[in-house]
A and B are shown apart, each in its own frame.
Chain A
Amino acid sequence: MAGHCSATASQLAGRVPTPVAGPPAQATAVAVGSAYPALDATAAVLAARAQTAAGKLTTSASQYVRTEEISGQRLSELSGGPGRE
């Protein structure tokens, strides 16, 4: 899942295309042209959000695995440790 989030972040970051430049005298061309940098900025925020999720999932997965290992060790000690046979 962390990998999926990380891949999503990469796709989001590079998705906004370069705009077609219209005549600068036309108000619509100016308005459209100004929207693309805003979209780029928004995409960067969304990508960062997805990347943060990927990081949190990676950390959670590591902690989960570590907890499992510790639990396993403790159970082994309980069942096979000295004086417990």
Chain B
Amino acid sequence: MPAVTGTALPNLSQILGWDTEHLSRAVTDWSSIAEHWEGAFDSVHRGMLAPGGTVWEGEGADTAQERSFGDLVTVRGLADTLNGAATIARRGADPLDYLKRQAIEVINEAREAGFTVGKTFPSPTPASTAGFG
């Protein structure tokens, strides 16, 4: 499939082959990774507060707990970013799927009406094909 760049309209094969599986998968993967990262560092921080179930206090405990809390805050920021990217991917996949279905529907309607929809659609074409190459 040739690249679709700038504002160039996709041709017929590009429309038929338009894929959003990578976006749907990204939504699942990125949300899962974000949850895992946050859960892992939350677990580490809670463990630092009470290793083995016993409250840990003292200078060393303070240092370790501050470090683990700082890590957790950082990872929460990363998880937020990743969840944001997953949301963008989801919002991109849904309209692309819809538009693909719409385009295919229009193409089928044109064919049923007797028009020829060629591979170079929608480039300029002879009048006999009424705009479809």
Select from chain A the residue with minimum beta-carbon distance to B36: A15
| Chief secondary structure at chain B's binding surface | helix
* CB <8 Å contact, A32 and B2: no
* CB <8 Å contact, B85 and A35: yes
- B126 at interface, CB cutoff 8 A: no
* CB <8 Å contact, A20 and B75: no
> By the criterion of a CB under 8 Å from any partner CB, how many residues of chain A are at the interface?
33
Given contacts A1-B47, A19-B22, contact A11 B40 (CB under 8 A): yes
Q: Mask for A1-44, Cβ within 8 A of B = 1, else 0?
A: 10011001001100111011111111111001101000100110
Q: Which residues of A contact B89 (CB under 8 A)?
A: 28, 32
- B107 at interface, CB cutoff 8 A: no
Give chain B's interface residue range (CB within 8 Å of chain A): 35 or more
User: Smallest Cβ distance from A7 to chain B, in angstroms?
Assistant: 9
Of residues 54 through 97 on chain B, the ones whose CB sits less than 8 Å from some CB of chain A are 60, 64, 67-68, 71, 75, 78, 82, 85, 89, 92, 96
| Chief secondary structure at chain A's binding surface | helix
Of residues 34 through 55 on chain B, the ones whose CB sits less than 8 Å from some CB of chain A are 36-37, 40-41, 43-44, 47-48, 51-52
* CB <8 Å contact, B19 and A29: yes
Select from chain A the residue with minimum beta-carbon distance to B60: A60
Indicate the member of A26, A35, A49, A60 with the most B CB atoms within 10 Å: A26
* CB <8 Å contact, B33 and A23: no
Point out the residue from A11, A23, A33 that lies within 8 Å of B1, measured CB to CB: A23
